[in-house]
Amino acid sequence: MAQARSNARLTREVIAGFVALLLVVVGGAVFNADGLFFRAQTHLDALGQNAAFGVLACGLTLVIITGGIDLAVGSIVALAGVVFAILALRHGMAAWIAWAAALGVGAAGGLTAGSLVAHARLQPFVATLAIMAFARGLAKWSTDGVKVQKFPYPPVLEALNSQIHVAGVDIPISIAFFVVTAGATLVVLRTTTLGVWLYSIGDNEQAARYAGVPVKRVKVIAYTLCGVLSGLAGVLFCGLERQGNPDAGVGYELTAIAMVVIGGTSLAGGRGGALLTVLGTLVIAYLRKVLDINGVGTAEQYMITGVIIVLAVLAQGLRRRG
């Protein structure tokens, strides 16, 4: 009975996510900037420019399902990006070493945040706020506050900006990373014991503890995985911008959280999933592209995103009461 209710709830959230996506697409069709919205390249750009945000959102989904939050993901993006750039661009190290270091930095940030939450019992807001400040400072200190660049662009950066030829269409490689990440997140949440534990902690942490769930360990794992995906996003953004920028990632946590919440994952924990995050990512990606092609400024886009987050949370409350 409980499983049936859970499946019905998930179905309602998926339908709501599809409706939100449909509304944005219809809005793009109406305000199409003289037909620009109907061009295939516009859609590829929308997805390619937001794929790394989608990777961030997948990591946040794991944390938010436990009832937590991670405000440090934007700063970890910056730190992982500059570490990758320092090793690959400044010192010319092998790409796999730079990749491993960037993901390791992300994992370390997530592990620290998770340990502060689970073992030191700090509120997730406080713990991740501290990591956010530290990671940003470390990114600036390690680069002396300047961008890490190299001209001409080395092969590792060109590879991150390459495309995959599928069915006659050139798809940015960042989209492939997002698809694989979303698929892996879906598998973890829906088919593994870890996924069951994540949901149970978010639904009722005390009951999960009584049921034998290793709550502290699971929280640490959730934040660590979120950190790893933040490191991956940092590398993708480094490739997209063709530089390591210590000031990158500012406000990225807002965009990623918006993707998670708009998709239908509850900030209260215990409800949501990877498919919903994919829908939320598509909603934000198309919304941003529609606003871009119609000349809406960045400041206005942030304000609109904030309003949409509030509306999405209110809609979740109405669906739960309904």
- Name the residue ranges covered by the structural domains of the chain: 12-23+42-321
Q: Which of 28, 7, 129, 143 is nearest to 75 (CA)?
A: 129
Of the options 1.20.1630, 1.20.1300, 1.10.287, 1.10.3470, the CATH number for the domain spanning 12-23+42-321: 1.10.3470
How much is the average pLDDT of 74-93?
95
For residue 2, pLDDT beyond 60: no
Of 280-289, 298-307, 311-320, least confident by mean pLDDT is 311-320
- The per-residue pLDDT for 153 is 84
Beta-sheet pairing, 163-166 with 169-172: antiparallel
Euclidean distance between CA atoms 159 and 30, whole angstroms: 36
**Structure tokens given for 56:** 């961030």
Q: Provide, rounded to the nearest whole percent, the portion of the chain with pLDDT above 90.
A: 71
- The per-residue pLDDT for 1 is 40
Cβ contacts of 228 within 8 Å, gap of 6 or more = 59, 103, 106, 107, 110
How much is the average pLDDT of 78-96?
94
Cβ contacts of 311 within 8 Å, gap of 6 or more = none
- The per-residue pLDDT for 322 is 56
In 3-state terms, what secondary structure has residue 203? Answer: helix
- The per-residue pLDDT for 6 is 60
Q: Provide, rounded to the nearest whole percent, the portion of the chain with pLDDT above 70.
A: 95
The 10s digit of each residue's pLDDT in 258-286 is 999 998 898 889 989 999 999 999 999 99
Cβ contacts of 199 within 8 Å, gap of 6 or more = 65, 189, 270, 271
* Buried b / exposed e along 282-292 (16+ C-beta atoms within 10 A): bbbbbbbbbbb
